[in-house]
Amino acid sequence: MSDSANDSGRDLENSYDPDNIFAKIIRGELPAFKVYEDEHTLAFMDIMPQVEGHTLVIPKAGGANIFDLSDEALRATITTTKKVASAVKQAFSAEGIMIAQLNGSAAGQTVFHLHFHVLPRNAGIELGLHNRLTVDHEVLAKHAEQIRAALETAG
């Protein structure tokens, strides 16, 4: 593989599907437990959380992975990720926060609209399996409310 192919990473996935699940959530065609939204980004609860409080942060701009988004869109997304991570840390009294972002099926990516996972971590609590167990919607609604409250406190 040439250096330029490595740099662009465009060989990861063929093309962006504007009808992927997260694009539909952005357009309001599918529901989500939202915790934060601004002009460029959206954050909502992962429907199959690997730990209580597992939240996703996405750009509103379309792009399958980190190589497909403009630097501007990535900056907005990581800024929101930091803001949401701080609120998740507070809401779930987490000792640590794990932030994960997967690019390409070989890396474990399953939804091809770029997203950052925000996972509160505490010693002795292992992560559940990726993409497996759904949780009651009332529980997700309550967790979203806890994170929104922490965001409001932070101003």
| Interaction site with ligand 5GP (CB under 6 A) | 21, 32, 44-48, 102, 108-111, 131
The smaller minimum CB distance to ligand 5GP, of residues 46 and 73, is found at 46
Rounded CA separation 66/132 (Å):
24
Strands (E) located in the chain: 34-37, 41-45, 55-59, 96-100, 116-121
The smaller minimum CB distance to ligand 5GP, of residues 23 and 102, is found at 102
CB of 97 to ligand 5GP, least distance (A): 16
Contact 48, 109 (CB under 8 A): no
The smaller minimum CB distance to ligand 5GP, of residues 146 and 155, is found at 146
Cα 83 vs. chain centroid, distance in angstroms? 13
Q: CB neighbours of 60 closer than 8 A, spacing ≥ 6?
A: 26, 39, 40, 41, 42
CB of 100 to ligand 5GP, least distance (A): 7
Give the sign of the dihedral formed by CA 97, CA 47, CA 84, CA 22.
positive
Rounded CA separation 11/97 (Å):
31
CB of 114 to ligand 5GP, least distance (A): 9
The smaller minimum CB distance to ligand 5GP, of residues 112 and 151, is found at 112
Catalytic option among 54, 113, 115, 143: 115
CB of 105 to ligand 5GP, least distance (A): 9
Residue 117 appears among annotated catalytic residues: no
Active site residues: 115
